[in-house]
Amino acid sequence: MTEPLKPVYLEDKLKQVRGDGHLRYRSRSLPTWCPGCGYFSVAEGVTVALNRLQVPLKDAVVVSGIGCASRFPFFMDTYGLHTLHGRTLPVATGVKVANEALTVIAVGGDGDAFAIGGGHIPHAARRNVDITYMVFDNGVYGLTKGQTSPTSVYGFVTPSTPYESHDQPLNPLMMLLSYGASWVGQAYAGHQHHLSDMIAEAIAHRGFSYLHILSPCVTFDKTEMTYANLDIRVRDLPADHDPSDRLAAMKHAAATGHPALGLYFREERPTLGDGFADVATRAGRKTKTGAARAGGKKKTAKSK
Amino acid sequence: MVDRNGSTDIQFAIIGSAGDGTIAAGDILKRAMAGLGYKVIAFDIYPAEIRGFGKCISRVRVTTEQAYSLKRHSDVLVSLDDSYAIPHVGEVCDYGAVIYEASPIARLPEGAHITAHIRPTQLPYGLNQREISERATSAARSRNIVILGYLAGLYGIDPQAFRDVIAAKFERKAAIVTTSNTTAFDAAYEVGRTVFKLDQGSLGEPAPAKSGETATMMTGNGAIVRGCIDAGLDTFFGYPITPATTILERLAAELPRHGGRVLQTEDEISAISATIGAGYAGARAATATSGPGLALMAEMLGLGVMGEIPSVVFVSQRGGPSTGMPTKTEQSDLNMAVFGGAGDAQRIVLAPTNVDGCYRTAGKAFEMAEKYQTPVIVLLDLYLSNRYETVVPPAKNPFAPDLNKGLEAWRGDGDYQRYQQTEDHVSPRALPGEDGGMHTVTGLEHSELGKPSDLPENHMAMSAKRHEKLKAALTHPDFTICKRFGDEGPIDVGILGWGSTFGEILEAMFAAQAEGIRCSAMKVVMLSPLPEEQIAAFMDDCDAVLLPELNYEGQLANLISGALGRPLTRLNRATGAPMQVEEILAEVRRLARAKAA
Amino acid sequence: MAEATHNVIIGNGSAGNGAAITLRERDPDSRITIITMSSLPFYNRYDLPRVFRGCHDWREILVHPPEYYDDNRITLRRNSRVIDVDGRSRTITFAHNEVMHYDQLLVCAGGRGYLPEELSDYYHLMHGFHSFESAMITHDALPQGGTLLMLGGDMIGLDLARTLIDVGYRVVLLANEYTFWPHRIEPEERDGFLAALERMGLEVVDGMHPVAIEEGAAGKPARRVLFDDGSDVDGDVVMPFYGLMPTAEFMLGSGVDIERGLLVNPQLQSTDPRIWAAGDVCQIWSEADKEYRFYYGWTNVRQMGEVAARNVTGASEDFKGVGDERLHVGKDGYIQSPFWEY
Amino acid sequence: MSERRNRERETAAPAAAAPEAGGVWYSDDPRDIGWVKENIPCQSACPAGTNIPGYIQAIMEKKYGQAYEINREANVLPGILGRICSRPCEEFCRHAQPGNGETVNICHLKRASSDLKHVGHRITESLYGPSGKRVAIVGAGPAGVAAAHDLSLLGHDVAIFERESDPGGMLRYGIPAFRLPRDILQVELHNALRLGVELRTGIEIGKGKGQLPLAKLRKDFDAVLLSTGSMASVNLPLKGGIGKDDPDSIDSVEYGLYFLMGLHRGEKKTVGKRVAVVGAGFTALDCARVAKRLGGTEVTIHIRTAEEYIPVTKDEIFECKREGIRIKGLRSPSQLVVDDDGRLRGIEFAQNRLGGWRDNGRRQAIPIEGSEFFEPCDTLLIAIGQRTVNDYLDVKLELDRWGSVKADENGQTSRKGIFAAGDYVTGPTTIIEAIGNGRRVAAGIDTWLMGRQRRRQVVRIEPVAEPLRERGFDFIERQHMPTAPLSERNKALTNEVETGYDEALAATESKRCYLCNLKYQIDIDNCIYCRACIEVAPKNCIKLVEGVEIRNDGTYGELLETKQWDEVGAIWIDNNECIRCGACFMVCPTRCISITRNEFVTQDI
Domain CATH code at residue C38: 3.50.50.60
**Looking at residues B416-444, what average pLDDT do you find?**
91
**Looking at residues A44-69, what average pLDDT do you find?**
93
Number of other residues whose CB lies within 10 A of the CB of residue C75: 17
Nearest CA in chain D to B19: D535
Nearest CA in chain D to A17: D569
Same domain as C135, residue C47? no
Q: What are the distances in angstroms from CA D228 to CA C84, D161, D169, D260?
A: 43, 10, 8, 18
Instruction: Of C299, C257, C290, give the one whose Cα is nearest residue C275.
Output: C257
Of C15-24, D91-100, D164-173, the poorest mean pLDDT is in D91-100
Q: Is the pLDDT of residue D4 over 50?
A: no
Distance separating alpha carbons of residues B28 and B169, to the nearest angstrom: 8
Cross-chain Cβ contact D583/B19 below 8 Å: no
Interface size between C and D, measured as CB pairs under 8 A:
47
Number of helices followed by number of strands (H, E) in chain A: 11, 8
Give the DSSP H/E element, type plus range, for residue A205. none
Q: Is the pLDDT of residue A293 over 50?
A: no
Cα B486 versus chain centre, distance: 23
Q: Is the pLDDT of residue A4 over 90?
A: no
Nearest CA in chain B to A111: B266
What pLDDT does B563 receive? 95
Cross-chain Cβ contact B256/A163 below 8 Å: yes
Report the sign of the C-alpha dihedral through residues D551, D556, D557, D558, in that order: positive
Same domain as C219, residue C180? yes
Same domain as C188, residue C122? yes
pLDDT band at D13 (very low <50, low <70, confident <90, very high): very low
Q: Any CB–CB contact under 8 A between B131 and chain D?
A: yes
DSSP state of B397: -
- Of B244 and B64, which is predicted with more confidence? B244
Q: Which amino acid is at D583?
A: A
Of B395-404, C71-80, C322-331, D103-112, the poorest mean pLDDT is in C322-331
Cross-chain Cβ contact B138/D538 below 8 Å: no
The answer to whether C39 and B124 have CB atoms below 8 angstroms apart is: yes
CB-nearest partner of B52 from A34, A143, A145: A34
What pLDDT does D23 receive? 81
Same domain as C77, residue C177? no
User: Which residues in chain A are contacts of D525 at CB distance < 8 A?
Assistant: 13, 192-193
Cross-chain Cβ contact B138/D540 below 8 Å: no
Rounded to the nearest angstrom, the minimum Cα separation between A221 and chain B is 13
Cα B66 versus chain centre, distance: 16
The burial class, CB within 10 Å (0-12 / 13-18 / 19+), for C116 is middle
**Looking at residues D517-546, what average pLDDT do you find?**
93
- Does residue C263 fall inside a structural domain? yes
Q: What are the distances in angstroms from CA D379 to CA A189, D236, D246, D252?
A: 80, 16, 15, 5
Helix, strand, coil % in chain A, rounded to nearest 5: 40, 15, 45
Q: Which pairing describes strands C6-10 and C104-107: parallel, antiparallel, or unpaired?
A: parallel
Rounded to the nearest angstrom, the minimum Cα separation between B249 and chain D is 29
Question: B446-452 long-range CB contacts below 8 Å, 24 or more apart?
Answer: B446/B306, B446/B419, B447/B419, B448/B417, B448/B418, B448/B419, B448/B420, B448/B421, B449/B415, B449/B417, B449/B418, B449/B419, B450/B417, B450/B418, B450/B419
**Over the stretch D547-569, which tens digit does the pLDDT of each residue have?**
999 888 888 888 999 989 999 99
The answer to whether A287 and A264 have CB atoms below 8 angstroms apart is: no
Q: Which pairing describes strands B375-381 and B311-317: parallel, antiparallel, or unpaired?
A: parallel
> What DSSP letter does each residue of B329-345 carry, written as one string?
-----HHHHHH-SSSS-
Q: Is the pLDDT of residue B157 over 70?
A: yes
Phi first, then psi, for residue C209 (nearest 5°) are: -115, 100
Q: Any CB–CB contact under 8 A between C43 and chain B?
A: no
- Of A130 and D390, which is predicted with more confidence? A130
Same domain as C298, residue C268? yes
Distance separating alpha carbons of residues D46 and D436, to the nearest angstrom: 8
Q: What does pLDDT average to over chain B?
A: 92
Same domain as C301, residue C270? yes
What pLDDT does B6 receive? 61
| CB within 8 Å of chain C, chain B residues 91-120 | 101-113, 115-116, 118-120
Residue range of the domain that includes C304: 6-112+245-312
Number of residues that this document lists for chain B: 597
**Looking at residues A27-46, what average pLDDT do you find?**
92
Q: Any CB–CB contact under 8 A between A135 and chain B?
A: no
- Does residue C235 fall inside a structural domain? yes
DSSP state of B325: B
Number of other residues whose CB lies within 10 A of the CB of residue D358: 9
**Over the stretch C288-316, which tens digit does the pLDDT of each residue have?**
888 888 888 888 899 999 999 999 999 99
Does residue C176 sit in helix, strand or coil?
coil
Distance separating alpha carbons of residues D61 and B567, to the nearest angstrom: 85
Q: Which pairing describes strands B388-391 and B542-549: parallel, antiparallel, or unpaired?
A: unpaired
Instruction: Of A74, A68, A116, A117, give the one whose Cα is nearest residue A92.
Output: A117
What pLDDT does D317 receive? 93
Rounded to the nearest angstrom, the minimum Cα separation between A240 and chain B is 38
**Over the stretch D144-155, which tens digit does the pLDDT of each residue have?**
999 999 999 999
Tell me which chains share at least 3 CB pairs under 8 Å with chain B.
A, C, D
- Does residue C76 fall inside a structural domain? yes
> What DSSP letter does each residue of D346-405 carry, written as one string?
EEEEEEEEEEEE-TTSPEEEEEPTT--EEEE-SEEEE-S-EE---TT--S---B-TTSPB
**Over the stretch B210-242, which tens digit does the pLDDT of each residue have?**
766 778 889 999 999 999 999 999 999 999 999
Phi first, then psi, for residue D336 (nearest 5°) are: -80, 140
pLDDT band at A299 (very low <50, low <70, confident <90, very high): very low
User: Is the ipTM of this structure higher than 0.90?
Assistant: no
Bridge-partner residues for D381, per DSSP? D254, D277
Q: What does pLDDT average to over chain D?
A: 90
Q: Is the pLDDT of residue D49 over 70?
A: yes
Q: What are the distances in angstroms from CA B52 to CA A219, B324, C262, D412?
A: 11, 22, 46, 62
The burial class, CB within 10 Å (0-12 / 13-18 / 19+), for D409 is exposed
CB-nearest partner of B134 from D99, D471, D535: D471
Among C221, C242, C263, which residue terminates a domain? Answer: C242
Same domain as C177, residue C134? yes
CB-nearest partner of B120 from C69, C80, C96: C69
Distance separating alpha carbons of residues A173 and C97, to the nearest angstrom: 53
Does residue C213 sit in helix, strand or coil?
strand
The answer to whether B176 and B54 have CB atoms below 8 angstroms apart is: no
Same domain as C128, residue C236? yes
The answer to whether D302 and D288 have CB atoms below 8 angstroms apart is: no
What pLDDT does A301 receive? 34
The answer to whether D435 and D76 have CB atoms below 8 angstroms apart is: yes
User: Which residues in chain B are contacts of C57 at CB distance < 8 A?
Assistant: 200
DSSP state of B73: S
**Over the stretch A41-52, which tens digit does the pLDDT of each residue have?**
999 999 999 999
Cross-chain Cβ contact C211/D329 below 8 Å: no
Instruction: State what percent of residues in chain A have pLDDT above 70.
Output: 91
What pLDDT does B398 receive? 95
Angle between helix axes A88-98 and A272-283 (nearest 10 degrees) is 50
CB-nearest partner of B105 from D475, D540, D583: D540
- Does residue C294 fall inside a structural domain? yes
Instruction: Of B123, B146, B129, B145, give the one whose Cα is nearest residue B76.
Output: B123
In chain A, what are the domains? 19-269 (3.40.50.970), 270-304 (no CATH)
Q: Is the pLDDT of residue B555 over 80?
A: yes
Same domain as C178, residue C152? yes
Phi first, then psi, for residue C222 (nearest 5°) are: -65, -25
| CB within 8 Å of chain A, chain B residues 254-283 | 256, 262, 264, 266-267
- Does residue C256 fall inside a structural domain? yes
> Which residue out of A27, A29, A30, A32 would a mutagenesis test of the B interface target, given it has the greatest number of B Cβ atoms within 10 Å?
A32
Distance separating alpha carbons of residues D427 and D419, to the nearest angstrom: 15
| CB within 8 Å of chain A, chain D residues 521-550 | 521, 523-526, 528-535, 545-548, 550
Q: What are the distances in angstroms from CA A258 to CA A229, A233, A237, A238?
A: 10, 5, 10, 12
- Does residue C340 fall inside a structural domain? no
What pLDDT does A29 receive? 83
**Over the stretch B172-221, which tens digit does the pLDDT of each residue have?**
888 888 999 999 999 999 999 999 999 876 788 888 777 667 788 899 99
The answer to whether C80 and C36 have CB atoms below 8 angstroms apart is: yes
**Over the stretch A225-234, which tens digit does the pLDDT of each residue have?**
999 999 999 9
Global model pTM greater than 0.90: no
In D297-343, DSSP assigns E strands to 298-302, 326-328, 331-338
**Over the stretch B361-378, which tens digit does the pLDDT of each residue have?**
999 999 999 999 999 999
pLDDT band at B483 (very low <50, low <70, confident <90, very high): very high
**Over the stretch D313-369, which tens digit does the pLDDT of each residue have?**
888 999 999 999 999 999 999 888 888 877 889 999 999 988 878 777 788 888 988
Distance separating alpha carbons of residues B352 and B384, to the nearest angstrom: 9
What pLDDT does C320 receive? 87
CA angle C271, C276, C279 (to 5 degrees): 120
Count how many Cα atoms sit within 13 Å of the Cα of residue B286 in the half-sphere of its side chain.
35
- Does residue C325 fall inside a structural domain? no
Same domain as C124, residue C227? yes
State yes or no: chains B and D have 3 or more CB pairs below 8 A. Answer: yes
- Does residue C305 fall inside a structural domain? yes
Rounded to the nearest angstrom, the minimum Cα separation between C7 and chain D is 25
Does residue B465 sit in helix, strand or coil?
helix
DSSP state of C130: S
What pLDDT does A303 receive? 35
Q: What are the distances in angstroms from CA B474 to CA B333, B402, B430, C19?
A: 22, 19, 25, 73
Cross-chain Cβ contact D540/B140 below 8 Å: no
What pLDDT does B66 receive? 80
Tell me which chains share at least 3 CB pairs under 8 Å with chain C.
B, D
DSSP state of D295: T
In chain B, what are the domains? 9-194 (3.40.920.10), 217-391 (3.40.50.970), 482-596 (3.40.50.920)
Distance separating alpha carbons of residues B301 and B377, to the nearest angstrom: 10
**Looking at residues C227-251, what average pLDDT do you find?**
93
Cross-chain Cβ contact B52/D99 below 8 Å: no
Cross-chain Cβ contact C259/D354 below 8 Å: yes
What pLDDT does C210 receive? 92
In chain D, what are the domains? 1-39+515-605 (3.30.70.20), 44-125+503-511 (1.10.1060.10), 134-231+388-453 (3.50.50.60), 236-382 (3.50.50.60)
Same domain as C235, residue C122? yes
List of residues 6+ apart from D360 with CB closer than 8 A: none
Number of domains, chain C: 2
What pLDDT does C342 receive? 62
Distance separating alpha carbons of residues D421 and D412, to the nearest angstrom: 9
List of residues 6+ apart from C144 with CB closer than 8 A: C168
Q: Any CB–CB contact under 8 A between C73 and chain B?
A: no
The answer to whether A147 and A159 have CB atoms below 8 angstroms apart is: yes
The answer to whether C7 and C305 have CB atoms below 8 angstroms apart is: no
Same domain as C212, residue C298? no
Distance separating alpha carbons of residues B197 and B191, to the nearest angstrom: 11
Cross-chain Cβ contact A37/D530 below 8 Å: yes
